[in-house]
Amino acid sequence: MSVRIVLVDDHGMFRSGVRAELAADPTIEVAGEAGDVESAVAAVSEHRPDVVLLDVHLPGGLSRPGGREVLQRCAEHLAARPPVRFLALSVSDASEDVIAVIRAGARGYVTKTISGPELASAIHRVSEGDAVFSPRLAGFVLDAFGTGAGEVAAVDDELDRLSSREREVMRLIARGYAYKEVSRELFISVKTVETHVSAVLRKLQLSNRYELTRWAADRRLL
């Protein structure tokens, strides 16, 4: 089944570059493009794509970063069945941007230096409801949840800490392992890896963890 996407980025050159790269994958169809917050919201409503490739820094709108505002204004599509899913794509890997779009509902974050095939597989992963973690995002998670300092949750559904399994998965991703390699390393299925990653994403979105809040507040986010 092919995946319909909408490309949101304020640089036309970058949009056409991504379009050309994704043309190599026949299962991905670019339904629409947008260059600012307003047109992005309109394009999402009009095309109802499976996945929106969303630049974090966008002109227009009332708040910054613009990508977060798009997510907030598309809340109904995010909650719909089937939902519109967002994958954030940016040159910026400043931590506040990463956290802003993830907490607003994006299901992953990749930087613009990602290769074409990798981007295509990330889009497929997001369209199936899984999360996409780059090594850098995994590093942020480990840092923000104090996992490096040895804090590990006793029960899996504790929101403010990672379980030891989730920690291991995050560490392997931070080390540059693909999901398949993680599954081989930990003797679990790829599906289980995806479950863990989605659980971490959920914690990242919902946690009230003190450090996370302070971290964001320090950067005038909340």
Partner 1 sequence: MSPPERPALVRPEQGRLLGGVAAGLAGHLGLGALAVRVALVTLAVLGGSGIVLYVWLWALVPDGATGTAWAGEMGRRPPGRPGTGGRTPNRSRDILLGLLLLLIGLVFLGLRAGWGDIPGLVPLLVVGCGAIIAFSQLDEVERSRLATRTGAGTRAAVLRVVAGAALVVLGAVLLAVQGSGLVQSGRILVAVLAVLVGLALVLAPWGLRMWRSLDAERAALAHQTARADIAAHLHDSVLQTLALIQRQSGDPTAVSRLARAQERELREYLYGPPEVQHATLAGEVRSAAAQIEDLHGVAVDVVVVGDEDLDERGAALVAALREAMLNAVRHAGAPVQVYAECGPQGVEAFVRDRGPGFDLDAVPPDRLGVRGSIIGRMERHCGTADVRTAPGEGTEIRLRLPAARTVEQRGCDEASADQRGDGE
- Binding residues for partner 1 (CB under 8 A): 92-94, 113, 135-136, 138-139, 142-143, 147-150, 171, 174-177
Q: Least separation, in Å, of the C-beta of 93 and partner 1?
A: 7
Residue appearing with tokens 């570059």: 17
Name the residue nearer to partner 1 (CB basis): 33 or 93. 93
Q: Are 86 and 105 in contact (CB under 8 A)?
A: yes
What span, in angstroms and rounded, lies between the C-alpha atoms of 30 and 95? 29
Name the residue nearer to partner 1 (CB basis): 31 or 186. 186
| Helical residues (DSSP H) of the chain, grouped into ranges | 12-22, 37-47, 66-73, 75-79, 95-103, 116-127, 135-144, 164-174, 179-186, 190-206, 210-218
57 — phi, psi (to 5°)?
-100, 110
Name the residue nearer to partner 1 (CB basis): 52 or 102. 102
Q: Least separation, in Å, of the C-beta of 209 and partner 1?
A: 15
Alpha-carbon distances, residue 162 vs 52, 169, 216 (angstroms)? 28, 10, 19
Which residues 6+ apart lie within 8 Å of 70 measured at CB?
8, 37, 40, 41, 44, 52, 54, 58, 61
- Amino acid found at 86: F
Q: Least separation, in Å, of the C-beta of 59 and partner 1?
A: 17
Q: Least separation, in Å, of the C-beta of 202 and partner 1?
A: 21
Residue appearing with tokens 């979105």: 205
Q: Least separation, in Å, of the C-beta of 149 and partner 1?
A: 6
Which of 131-148 are b and which e, b meaning 16 or more Cβ less than 10 Å from the residue's Cβ? bbbbebbbbbbbebbbbe
Q: Least separation, in Å, of the C-beta of 91 and partner 1?
A: 8
